[in-house]
Amino acid sequence: MPFFGLTSPGPFFGNKVRAFWNLQILGWIAWLGLRGVSGLAGGQSLSFLVPVIVSAITGFSLTLLLSVCYRALFNRPPILMWSASFGLMAVAAALWAFIDAWVLQVVNPKSESGLTGLLLALVYVDATSLAAWSALYFAINYFLQLEEQNDRVLRLETQAASAQLAMLRYQLNPHFLFNTLNSISTLVLLKQAEPANAMLSRLSAFLRYTLANEPTAQVTLAQEIETLKLYLDIEKMRFEDRLRPHFEIDPAVARARLPSLLLQPLIENAIKYAVTPQEEGADITISAQLAGENVRITVSDTGAGLSAGGGDPTTGYATESTGVGLANIRDRLAQAFGDQQRFEAQSGADGGFTVRIEFPFQPDGQATIGTGQT
């Protein structure tokens, strides 16, 4: 009989019906062989094998019936399940012993032992065999049930992790979208159709990328940098020369995989807290290189940092900052790389702010990108 349709912990139980019959047949063949060999080794004649074979067939048949009953009782209250199981096993043992005793009397009619004597002698052996079979049956099914529960927990944990990653991935600052649309609207009102169309095209490409990719997917650093350049092209149309981005990307790490849009909140924070408040704007530098077996990415700006008006050392920016962007990155790094990642944020003594992240280098089969300045 099948093991309740539970999830298989391994290839052997991939087909539970087949696994049951394999165990059932092999187990009773082994039982028959053990009884037959022990009897022949003890000096019994070949006729001894007849009652042993009949006993094996009887035990095989009775355990099939017991498996049906046990399956019906398995999810019942423990008191009912165990009391009924012991009762059924006792009845089966008594019936098996009676059949064995009757067959022995038929095969050896001149035996000095009566039916009662044979019954008492055989009930112990048969009851022990049934107890061992029942214990193995319940042990296997409890093991399968535990594996099924563990698999369910793992699936739920995976789903929860995926949901959290999706939430973090979509937790982008909506001010960027609002500001961009407002800039497009202003350009339209000023009848500057060409710049408005260019900004709208870049915004469309950026949103297409952010919405088309799976929220839990990883991309190469090359793809991430291209997306950042697209984002910065949009922002440069707003800030013009006040926004000065620089890229220093080692081609050796261009194929490194990381969560998509991981770096975008860093650039957005730098624009908000370094470029916007200063009339002269600020430089933003994005660099990436190998650090042993890790990839080290650094994003720095020439803004005021913590030196102007104090600041929150947790976020690294002004006290009105919520720090959502940096918290987002920390959480996404932890989700993607566990304790194999590092995240550091610090402000320079003379201004500026730097964020440095490290994670294991896991290359992907993508083309490399060049280095240089945008």
- DSSP state, 363? B
Supply φ then ψ for residue 204, to 5 degrees. Answer: -65, -45
Q: Provide the pLDDT for residue 159.
A: 62
What would the pLDDT profile of 322-355 be if each residue is shown by its tens digit? Answer: 455 677 788 888 888 888 999 998 887 778 899 9
Give the pairing of strands 243-249 and 282-291.
parallel
Q: Give the Å distances, CA to CA, from 178 to 174, 183, 355.
A: 6, 9, 26
Answer whether residue 316 shows pLDDT above 60. no
Q: Provide the pLDDT for residue 311.
A: 45
Answer whether residue 71 shows pLDDT above 70. yes
d(CA 371, CA 374): 9
What would the pLDDT profile of 74-104 be if each residue is shown by its tens digit? Answer: 888 889 989 999 999 999 999 998 888 888 8
Answer whether residue 117 shows pLDDT above 50. yes
Least confident segment among 20-34, 150-164, 290-304: 150-164
Q: Provide the pLDDT for residue 1.
A: 44
Among residues of the chain, what percentage have pLDDT more than 70?
A: 77
Q: What is the mean pLDDT of the chain?
A: 79
d(CA 22, CA 14): 13
Q: b vs e for 341-367, b when ≥16 Cβ sit within 10 Å of the residue's Cβ?
A: beeebebeeebbbbbbbbbebeeeeee
For tokens 């793809």, the residue is 223
- Rg over CA atoms, the chain: 37
Q: Provide the pLDDT for residue 2.
A: 46
Least confident segment among 69-78, 106-115, 257-266, 286-295: 106-115
Strand extents, DSSP E, the chain: 218-220, 243-249, 257-259, 282-291, 294-301, 342-347, 353-360
Question: Which pTM does this prediction carry?
Answer: 0.52
Confidence of residue 33 (pLDDT cuts 50, 70, 90): confident
- Better-predicted residue by pLDDT, 262 or 155: 262
d(CA 261, CA 265): 8
Answer whether residue 8 shows pLDDT above 50. no
For tokens 């350049």, the residue is 229
348, amino acid identity: G
User: Angle between the 49-73 and 115-169 helix axes, to the nearest 10 degrees?
Assistant: 40
Six-digit token pair at 116?
């009662």
What would the pLDDT profile of 127-179 be if each residue is shown by its tens digit? Answer: 999 999 999 998 888 888 888 888 877 776 666 655 655 555 555 556 667 77
Sign of the CA dihedral 328, 325, 244, 203?
A: positive
Answer whether residue 289 shows pLDDT above 90. yes
Q: Provide the pLDDT for residue 268.
A: 85
Altogether, the residues listed in the chain come to a count of: 374
Instruction: Count how many Cα atoms sit within 13 Å of the Cα of residue 28 in the half-sphere of its side chain.
Output: 20
Q: Provide the pLDDT for residue 215.
A: 55
Complete domains list, the chain, with CATH: 11-166 (no CATH), 170-360 (3.30.565.10)
CB 314, CB 340: distance < 8 Å: no
Helix, strand, coil percentages, rounded to 5, for the chain: 60, 15, 25
